[in-house]
Amino acid sequence: MSDNYDVIIIGGGPGGYVAAIRCAQLGLNTACIEKRINKQDEPALGGTCLNVGCIPSKALLDSSWKYHETESALADHGIKVKGADLDLETMLKRKDTIVKNLTGGIAQLFKANKVTWLQGTGQLKSGKQVEFQPLDGDTQTLQAEHVILAAGSVPVDIPVASVDQKVIVDSTGALDFDKVPKRLGVIGAGVIGLELGSVWGRLGSEVVVLEAVDDFLPAVDKQIAKDAQKQFTKQGLDIRLGARVTGSEVKKDQVVVSFTDKDGEQEETFDRLIVAVGRRPYTEGLLSQDAGVTLDERNYIYVDSQCRTDVPGVYAIGDLVRGPALAHKAIEEGVMVAEVIMGESTQLNYDTVPGVIYTHPEVAWVGKTEEEAKDSGDAYKTGAVPFAANGRAMAAGETGGMVKFVADEKTDRILGMHVVGPQASELIQQGVIAMEFGATVEDLQLMVFGHPSLSETVHEAALATDFKAIHVAQRRRKK
Ligand code: FAD
Ligand code: NAD
């Protein structure tokens, strides 16, 4: 094994493995250090996202939705199914197979691109040296021209509900319950709480979500968040806002959770409890004392807009650094850094990174919310149109939700797009593309959208910002 590389990447998640492949494509002699051991006790690439995050959670979201549809939603279409049986073991095995295939695929891509996968733990030292502790064998000191730190993030722990991965679990444990909990508690009505709460709710759990703050999804456009909350509540998720957990006690195979809300002190007993109160950068053991890399006040590695740390030649990307903790943001930072290393002119437009919550309906957004537009003090306009006015949504029986645009009143530029509704994760990409090209609302108004399609609601929402929507009655604003 060589101990000299053009680039050494620590962490093989979506940020790290994509950076490695792009570096290799650009002709750099590249190694990626990854320490992860998967459920099958094998070394695995793909990080949180492929192993215990985006992919397994989406596999369960899709499977659980199919079960729920078969059980209850198909009758509306005139399809009567008698006694749909849940085979949880097969559902979980299917998820594991998808994960195995995808992570194995990354290993193949490394081979094809001649990226060296070093299985073990990496630590940055001074002078762009990296100490490598292999899974088996002695520690080695490696030297690189450039180092990319891509160690990702881990769940935040709260002392009032310590995770034991049996009764009280984090997101990883919540991907593998061996039976459907009768009563499931979730701490945190964020992305993970809503997605995994939905999975188990569809499979039959009675789900109670305890959220400390009073607002539901405070980072999401208020009108969209309100609509989403209404739909989730109708589906049976019991979302308690302003509920501060003060303690928990595991008693046999159950957990008693104490919390305070507007009515005072409360107690609930659950069969399982998911703690989903955020994630934090994973810097433990990553940096030696003389590494010279600066952390910010929240322990993220401090980087500039092109992911350079304070040490020349050392970069950091993904969940380790500022910005949303999202796989696609990590991926694009990985590509950007590889190209920066090669001296190419490149950048990432952080203003057009979309966010998606993969509930049903999905919630998706890009750019400014109406509240942010208001706070900016500049004149703005909005247009929102419900899917209830869309023929394709009616045909599919998916009429909940809406598309909303926020635009600059003077320049007509699109500032933000927000969706709650069917296929929001796909529809939002239209807003991303439009904003990336600096489109105005009028640009979208003048385009032809296929009929019938969910995308027509995007068109109508663009029309609605100027009171031109055809399929909804609009009240014209006074001039
Ligand atoms: P990671 O994916 O965390 O990878 C970092 C890797 O570095 C890990 O494998 C770790 O083992 C390794 N590592 C750490 N330290 C060392 C070291 N010292 N030496 C060697 N290796 C090391 N994001 C989305 O965009 N869409 C989603 O749908 C989505 N769903 C999610 C669902 C769940 C349940 C969770 C938990 C997260 C989800 N995310 C989603 C977030 C997404 O997983 C992260 O944003 C993404 O994985 C970050 O990528 P990364 O490369 O920065 O870090
Ligand atoms: P989150 O930040 O989305 O939500 C955490 C929630 O927990 C917040 O609403 C917060 O107010 C609440 N909270 C914090 N402390 C609490 C307490 N003591 N009691 C009750 N509520 C409390 O975090 P998450 O859901 O853990 O997800 C972590 C990150 O993973 C996300 O920020 C996201 O970046 C990423 N992720 C993304 C996706 C996706 O893109 N679809 C899916 C899952 C995870």
Q: Looking at residue 2, what is its pLDDT?
A: 74
Q: Which residues are catalytic?
A: 451
**pTM for this predicted structure:** 0.97
217 closest CA partner among 369, 69, 101: 369
Q: Looking at residue 170, what is its pLDDT?
A: 98
Any ligand 2 atom below 6 A from CB of 212? yes
Any ligand 2 atom below 6 A from CB of 191? yes
Mutate to test the pocket of ligand 1, among 49, 62, 116 (most ligand atoms within 8 A of CB): 49
40 within 8 A of 100, measured Cβ to Cβ: yes
Atom of ligand 2 nearest to the CA of 217: 9
Task: Say which residues have a Cβ less than 8 Å from residue 145's Cβ, sequence separation at least 6.
Answer: 5, 6, 7, 128, 313
Q: Looking at residue 478, what is its pLDDT?
A: 59
Any ligand 2 atom below 6 A from CB of 325? yes
Residue 172 CA: which ligand is closest?
1
Any ligand 2 atom below 6 A from CB of 209? no
Angle formed by the axes of helices 14-25 and 327-341, to 10°? 30
Any ligand 1 atom below 6 A from CB of 369? no
Residue 44 CA: which ligand is closest?
1
Q: How far is the CA of 381 from the centre of ligand 1 (A)?
A: 37
DSSP H helices in 315-360: 327-341
Atom of ligand 2 nearest to the CA of 160: 18
Mutate to test the pocket of ligand 2, among 169, 192, 357 (most ligand atoms within 8 A of CB): 192
User: What's the rounded Cα separation, in Å, for the pair 168 and 270?
Assistant: 10
Q: How far is the CA of 313 from the centre of ligand 2 (A)?
A: 33
Any ligand 2 atom below 6 A from CB of 278? yes
Residue whose CA lies nearest to ligand 2 atom number 44: 192
Query: In angstroms, what is the C-alpha Rg of the chain?
Result: 24
Residue 10 CA: which ligand is closest?
1
pLDDT means over runs of 10, the chain (479 residues): 92 98 98 97 98 98 96 89 93 98 98 98 97 96 98 98 97 98 98 98 98 98 98 96 98 96 96 98 97 96 98 98 98 98 96 98 98 98 97 97 98 98 98 98 98 98 97 76
| CA 168 and chain centroid, separation | 22
Any ligand 2 atom below 6 A from CB of 326? yes
Any ligand 1 atom below 6 A from CB of 403? no
Residue 160 CA: which ligand is closest?
2
Is 377 in a helix, a strand, or coil?
coil
Residue whose CA lies nearest to ligand 2 atom number 12: 188
How would you class 143 by CB atoms within 10 Å of its CB: exposed for 0-12, middle for 13-18, buried for 19 or more? middle
- The DSSP symbol for 478 reads P
- The DSSP symbol for 262 reads T
User: What's the rounded Cα separation, in Å, for the pair 48 and 318?
Assistant: 11
272 within 8 A of 171, measured Cβ to Cβ: no
